[in-house]
Amino acid sequence: GRIDQPLLVYVGRLAVEKRIDVLRPILDVYPDVNLAIVGSGPQREELEKMFAGTNTVFTGYLEGDDLAAAYAAGDAFVFAGEHETLGNVVLEAMASGLPVLAAAIGGPLDHMRDGENGFLFPAGDSDALCNRVGRVLGNPMLKHQLAEGARRYALTQTWERIMDGLLENYESVIE
């Protein structure tokens, strides 16, 4: 795609439980949108077929500066996984100043502040995701506000704080 076309970024394993299929309709609704799928995994071949003919690039597994550059190039982060625990990639995306569009389930809920650092959508609901994508990409001021909110939130999340939260979760489960 062209440089002036918006770029959505997904980072994670390419596996069925990540529900990357939920992202596919975005490219029908918004044919000028580019999608970068960053990661490797057992579903790669199937996904490459599913996304064939769209503005999607599969980068393979990235780390360090290459991964940072992938986040930095994006306009928003899209995440449809339904079985997440910590939601690390969500935090990484926020730290990179990306508004996050995430399924309203599991780990990402710990970090998502709907309308402040991104938008939640019902798990598995491509139409709702497309709606949120349109809101963010169609409104530069909103996109900027969400990006700022994402960065601000990420700065509050130290490892110590994340681990304290995890320990509290464990303690409540044990009780």
* Interval 126-155: pLDDT, tens: 999 999 999 999 999 999 999 999 999 999
Ramachandran angles phi, psi of 133, nearest 5°? -60, -45
Burial class for 152, CB neighbours closer than 10 Å (0-12, 13-18, 19+): middle
CA distance linking residue 101 with residue 120, whole number of Å? 6
pLDDT at res. 88? 87
Q: Is the dihedral of CA 19, 23, 28, 32 positive or negative?
A: negative
Q: In angstroms, how far is CA 123 from the centroid of its own chain?
A: 13
CA distance linking residue 16 with residue 154, whole number of Å? 28
CA distance linking residue 153 with residue 147, whole number of Å? 10
CA distance linking residue 166 with residue 158, whole number of Å? 12
pLDDT at res. 23? 98
For residue 73, give the amino acid letter: A
Regions in the chain scoring below 70 on pLDDT: 1-4
pLDDT at res. 56? 98
Asked whether 96 and 148 are in contact (CB, 8 A), the reply is: no
Question: How crowded is the C-beta side of 120, counted as CA atoms within 13 Å?
Answer: 15
Burial class for 168, CB neighbours closer than 10 Å (0-12, 13-18, 19+): exposed
pLDDT at res. 4? 64
